[in-house]
Structure 1
Amino acid sequence: MFDSMWFTIILLQLLPHFTLSVPCPGGCVCDTAGYIKCTGDITAVPPLDPTTTFLLLLNDTQIKLLRERSFQPYHLLLRLSMTHSSLDTIHPEAFYDAPQLRSIKLSSNALSVFPPKVFSELSNLEQLQLDDNQIVSINSGLFEGLVNLTELDISKNHISQLNADIFQSLTKLIILNLAGNRLRNLPGNVFHNLGQLKSLALSSNQLETLEIGLFDHLNNLLVLQLHKNRIREIPPQIFWHMPTLLTLSLSGNKLQYIPPRSFYYLPNLTKLTLYTNPLISLPDQLVGRMPRLQELYLYETNLVTLPRNLFANMTGLKWLYLHLNGNLTSLPNDLFCCLPKLNKLSLRGNNLLELHLDIFKDLPSLQKLLLNENKLRSLPEQIFRHNPHLQMLDLSNNHLMYLPGDVFVHAGALRVLSLSGNHWNCDCSIMGIAEWIQENPTIVNDLEKGVACREPYQLKDRPLQSLTLKDLHCVQTTYTPSTSVATKVTSSPPSLTIARKDTGTVTARVSASIVPFTSTSAVTSLFSPTAEESYIIKTIGYNNQPEFYNTIVLDSGPDIVHNNQYNGWVYLWTVPSTGLYSGFMMSLYIVLLVVGVVIIAASWCALYRLHKVMWTWGEVAVEGHYQRIITKSYSF
């Protein structure tokens, strides 16, 4: 017994040497694990050792025909690959007597037709790849008998239609790839037997419509690819029966509208693509609860605006691509209200003219923000106050004329900033951002591309980081008004212009020598500023040219609603846009307006009644006069 055990051990050790002694066919590479790879001028399946062949690769060969029972001798063969060859014909019984095959890959050949039931004997087959051939049509019985098939790839062919029962026997199918064909429509029940399907690729076809109920039985589907078709409309509720769906791609179609509630009941969706569609508008009720959605692609559309609640149910969103929408000029103030995990936001290549102060206030995790290639002229000073983790910001190729000097004060994590390709106007209002660039030159990554003055002409192409107050002839004074703002006139010409920096509108003209102060007795103002709402007065000039002398710029603060001059002072009447005083004044205005309307109506009513009374008295007087005349006539 001891001798027999040693004999067995020695035999097992020598077995690889015995297998290596079996000659390997010419043009092939063989190894002891049963792996055989043949290439070159081979025109038929070569003779192989049936006791060792488990995996056979016949790639890049000259084989054009698979003959009858080509694999009958190889009872251990499990996987067969014949790709990138000239194969164009398969005998109806080519795979007979090879029921053990688990995988057949016939990709990238010249196959156009298959004999009926050519695979019917392969009851153990799990993987069948027929992609990148010249298949025009598939007969209904081609896949009969493949009861254990889990993966079927017939992509990149010329198939224009499918019979309704083509996949009827493939009840265990998990992956189905039909992409890259010429399908124009699909029978409504073609997928009804595929209850185990997890991945369905229908991209790069010519689909124009989707039948109602097409996906109703795909309850386990994880990936649905419908991009790069010609779909013009989708039926309502077509995606409602796929609660496990993770990825849905509808990009590259002809969709102009999407029915309301189309994306309801998809709680596990993690990726949604809608880009490159001529979408004109989106319904207010489009997306249901999607707490796991991480990626949304909505670019290259014709959208003019977006529903304010579009992202309300996407609390887990991390990447939002909302760029290259040429008609998108504005965004709702609270559009990004519910995206606490958003990491990257792309708004580049739109037509945005301005951004609201609170547009990014609910994005505490934002790290990358792309705003380049829009038409922004400036940004609110506190726009990034709720984005402490912002690391990369692209503002290049806009129409920026200036930026508030404190616009990045709250973006302490900022490491990459792009500012080139803008229309910088180098007056005193530019000094804030110029000084910030001087202090943070390593953050601005495109200084060499030219972050320079566009105007005035005398400073054209002057780098912003090189500007000084002396270059701009600026004198800066900062103060906070308590009630009203007044400026003393002490001489005549040249004139001063008091202007709002954000609008550029002229408010008042006074003379060159000024003394700023606050007064509580001269004029009672409607403005009560906070600590952040202070005025900055700057007098500027350009190269000692009188026509550009002495403009007072009011950088921030409330709207100036009125100004007047009295005894050499200019009084600026202001009112806050929000707050108690604003509400009180608006209420008072409405009350006075209503009272005025009531008084006018009462006056008209009184005049009407007076006119009526006077008319009645006039008739009585005329009647009495005629009565007297008649009486006198009779008396004669």
Structure 2
Amino acid sequence: MAVLWWLLSLLVVLILPPSYHLATPSSGSGQLRRLWLQDHCSAGICTNVVIGRSDYVILSQAPIAGTTMLTFLNSSIAKIPHLLFDTFPDLQVLRMENCSLETFEKPQFEGASNLMSLFLGHNRLKDIPKNIFLGADNLATLHLQGNQLRQLGNHSFHALKEVKELSLAENQLEQISLGVFSGMRKLMDLNLAGNRLDALPRGVFDRNLNLTKLNLARNRFTAFESELLKLQPVFTQLDISGNIFQELTLNFTLLDVAIAHSCDLRRLTVYGVIQELDLHNNSLREMPHIPLAANVSSLDLSHNPLGNLQGNPLRRFTSLLRLNLSATGAHELPEGLFKKQSHLQMLDISGNSIYSLKITIFDSLKALQYFYFQQNNWNCDFLQLLMSSFVKRKDISFMEDITAPELVDDYVDGIACWYESDKQSKKCDSGGSDAAMELSVVRNEIKTFTELVEKKFVKVYRMLEELKMKL
């Protein structure tokens, strides 16, 4: 069939007068145009290419061998020309992102057996016709993010048996059919973030045994079932952030990374082995329950209302390398909080209201390399001791404060601090330290209010994005 189309195209090019071949896209419906990509392309980069939806485009009079990659920039291409893969028989990578692509037309990928990667993100595609990818038998990477897809049929991806990476993020999908991914036995990385999904059918991934990464962020899930991934022997990353889970239970034999930030989580339980856990910007008032916490190497609990963490809650997290406790509402930290964290390399306690600590709290942190403790209410005398006896002595990296000078008594190596009320302030009179303490309280109240506004802004922004998609 491809050869027949090619011969017919050559015949038309040779017979019709040049004025007909060079018609513009707006010169009529179904107009036949001759397009020389050589005039628009250099080293695989094509610019200012215009192809209307009604155009029938003849790209060249003969195949162009040796071109393995084409990237279209500043172009308006309503449809992929039928004979593109006959013109470029060696094409392995095709990038048509931000090209206003509207539709697929059969036989769209006939002759595309060498195509390995196809990037069609941020276009105007609304559906994927049945069996449209016939011919692209060796496609391994397919990106369709940022389109207007509303549904997928069971045969939308038929023939794509070699695909390992599929992105459908930032579309308008409301549901997924049970068999839509069943033919993709080699699928490893699936991105469904930024859609309108509130559930997935049980068994939807039962034939994707090689699936290792799944992104369900920014959808409308209120519950997540780990049973969806019960057949995958190795799973490396799950992202369910931006959904609403007040209570969540994860149950995996082995999971490298779990991302569940901005979910309004109040309670979390994790069974099985998990190595990295990102829970920032939730509503946790207690530590997550993780029976096998000794396997956790990275834990981000920042922007949760955890408070002072009494009762040695980190005693089971003996393998932590990174710990983030920024903006958790802490006024103090118990002396033995980091007693079991001898491997810890990065610790963040910034953005709290800590005034002073017992310096022995840091005795067990033998491997610490990065310590972030700015934006607290540090006492200047304690801060001097902390810098000289721990931070500088061990050559630990830290970050300077951004607090305005008029709001502080002093700085120690760039970190803001305040003096006690019975000591002379360097920048204030005898009542200055009381005023500084009042300013500290006001600053913390402003910070809490700002965080609340930011959370509400995220929700409003999501609503506006959904409204924008509808329009």
Q: Which amino acid aligns with 1:304?
A: R
- What residue in structure 2 maps to residue 453 of structure 1? 419
How is 1:552-571 mapped onto 2 (pairs within 5 angstroms)?
none
Q: CA deviation at 1:454?
A: 5.3
Structure 2 CA distance for partners of 1:237 and 1:354, relative to 1, 3 Å: farther
What is the DSSP-based 3-state SS (H/G/I as helix, E as strand, rest coil) of the residue aligned with 1:258? Answer: strand
Q: CA deviation at 1:195?
A: 1.4
TM-score normalised by L of structure 2: 0.71
Is contact 1:98–1:122 with CA below 8 Å preserved after alignment?
A: no
Q: Which amino acid aligns with 2:166?
A: L
Structure 2 CA distance for partners of 1:343 and 1:78, relative to 1, 3 Å: closer
Structure 2 CA distance for partners of 1:461 and 1:112, relative to 1, 3 Å: same
What is the DSSP-based 3-state SS (H/G/I as helix, E as strand, rest coil) of the residue aligned with 2:235? Answer: coil
Q: CA deviation at 1:304?
A: 0.9
Distance 1:236 1:159 in 2: 26
Q: CA deviation at 1:405?
A: 9.2
1:324 paired with 2:303, answer yes
- What residue in structure 1 maps to residue 78 of structure 2? 88
Q: Which amino acid aligns with 2:59?
A: S
Please point out which of 45, 48, 54 is paired with 1:60. Answer: 48
Distance 2:290 2:37 in 1: 68
Q: Deviations over 1:424-471 (max 9, x none)?
A: xxxxxxxxxxxxx9xxx9xx4225x4x232524x734569xxxxxxxx
How is 1:592-611 mapped onto 2 (pairs within 5 angstroms)?
none
Q: CA deviation at 1:91?
A: 5.1
Q: CA deviation at 1:328?
A: 1.6
- What residue in structure 2 maps to residue 299 of structure 1? 280
- What residue in structure 2 maps to residue 360 of structure 1? 338
Is contact 2:169–2:195 with CA below 8 Å preserved after alignment?
A: yes
- Give the total of aligned pairs: 385
Q: Which amino acid aligns with 1:108?
A: N
Please point out which of 161, 170, 173 is paired with 2:163. Answer: 173
What is the DSSP-based 3-state SS (H/G/I as helix, E as strand, rest coil) of the residue aligned with 1:234? Answer: coil
What is the DSSP-based 3-state SS (H/G/I as helix, E as strand, rest coil) of the residue aligned with 2:252? Answer: coil
TM-score normalised by L of structure 1: 0.54
Structure 2 CA distance for partners of 1:181 and 1:421, relative to 1, 3 Å: closer
Please point out which of 383, 391, 395 is paired with 2:361. Answer: 383
Please point out which of 324, 347, 352 is paired with 1:346. Answer: 324
- What residue in structure 2 maps to residue 514 of structure 1? none
- What residue in structure 2 maps to residue 153 of structure 1? 143
Q: Which amino acid aligns with 1:271?
A: V
Please point out which of 32, 39, 46 is paired with 2:36. Answer: 46
Structure 2 CA distance for partners of 1:388 and 1:134, relative to 1, 3 Å: same
- What residue in structure 2 maps to residue 248 of structure 1? 238
Please point out which of 105, 109, 134 is paired with 1:119. Answer: 109
- What residue in structure 2 maps to residue 73 of structure 1? 62
Structure 2 CA distance for partners of 1:338 and 1:72, relative to 1, 3 Å: farther
Distance 1:101 1:394 in 2: 49
**What is the root-mean-square deviation of aligned Cα atoms in Å?**
3.5
Distance 2:353 2:45 in 1: 58
Q: Deviations over 1:304-349 (max 9, x none)?
A: 111454661424x1x4322011x22243644333445533322111
Structure 2 CA distance for partners of 1:44 and 1:392, relative to 1, 3 Å: same
Q: Which amino acid aligns with 1:178?
A: L
- What residue in structure 1 maps to residue 450 of structure 2? none
What is the DSSP-based 3-state SS (H/G/I as helix, E as strand, rest coil) of the residue aligned with 2:360? Answer: coil
Distance 2:62 2:123 in 1: 28
Distance 1:187 1:313 in 2: 39
Distance 2:399 2:112 in 1: 61
Structure with the greater alpha carbon radius of gyration: 1
Q: Which amino acid aligns with 1:336?
A: L
Q: Which amino acid aligns with 1:361?
A: K
- What residue in structure 1 maps to residue 13 of structure 2? none
How is 1:64-463 mapped onto 2 (pairs within 5 angstroms)?
64=52, 67-71=56-60, 73-76=62-65, 77-90=67-80, 92=82, 95=85, 100-259=90-249, 262-266=250-254, 269-283=255-269, 286-290=270-274, 293=275, 295-307=276-288, 309=290, 312-315=293-296, 317=297, 319-325=298-304, 327-331=305-309, 333-399=311-377, 403=382, 409=389, 412-413=393-394, 415=396, 444-446=412-414, 449=416, 451-453=417-419, 455-456=421-422, 459-460=424-425
Q: Which amino acid aligns with 2:48?
A: D
What is the DSSP-based 3-state SS (H/G/I as helix, E as strand, rest coil) of the residue aligned with 1:289? Answer: strand
Is contact 1:225–1:248 with CA below 8 Å preserved after alignment?
A: yes
Q: Which amino acid aligns with 1:58?
A: C
Structure 2 CA distance for partners of 1:398 and 1:97, relative to 1, 3 Å: closer
Query: Unaligned regions of 5+ residues in structure 1, if any?
Result: 1-42, 423-436, 464-636
Distance 1:405 1:377 in 2: 13
Q: CA deviation at 1:414?
A: 5.1
Q: Deviations over 1:177-201 (max 9, x none)?
A: 1112111221122112211112212
What is the DSSP-based 3-state SS (H/G/I as helix, E as strand, rest coil) of the residue aligned with 1:190? Answer: coil
Q: CA deviation at 1:140?
A: 1.3
Q: CA deviation at 1:133?
A: 0.9
Distance 1:311 1:60 in 2: 56
Is contact 2:130–2:158 with CA below 8 Å preserved after alignment?
A: no
Is contact 1:336–1:362 with CA below 8 Å preserved after alignment?
A: yes
Q: CA deviation at 1:92?
A: 4.8
Q: CA deviation at 1:360?
A: 0.5
Distance 1:148 1:281 in 2: 44
What is the DSSP-based 3-state SS (H/G/I as helix, E as strand, rest coil) of the residue aligned with 1:248? Answer: strand
Query: Unaligned regions of 5+ residues in structure 2, if any?
Result: 1-32, 404-409, 429-471
Q: Deviations over 1:205-261 (max 9, x none)?
A: 2222222222222222232222222222112422333332222222222222213xx
What is the DSSP-based 3-state SS (H/G/I as helix, E as strand, rest coil) of the residue aligned with 1:287? Answer: strand
Distance 1:89 1:386 in 2: 63
Is contact 1:342–1:366 with CA below 8 Å preserved after alignment?
A: yes
Is contact 1:298–1:322 with CA below 8 Å preserved after alignment?
A: yes
* Percent of pairs with identical residues: 24
Is contact 1:390–1:414 with CA below 8 Å preserved after alignment?
A: no
Q: Deviations over 1:100-134 (max 9, x none)?
A: 54333222212111213321342332222221211
Distance 1:74 1:83 in 2: 22
Instruction: Tell which has more relative contact order, 1 or 2 (C-alpha 8 A, sep 6+).
Output: 2
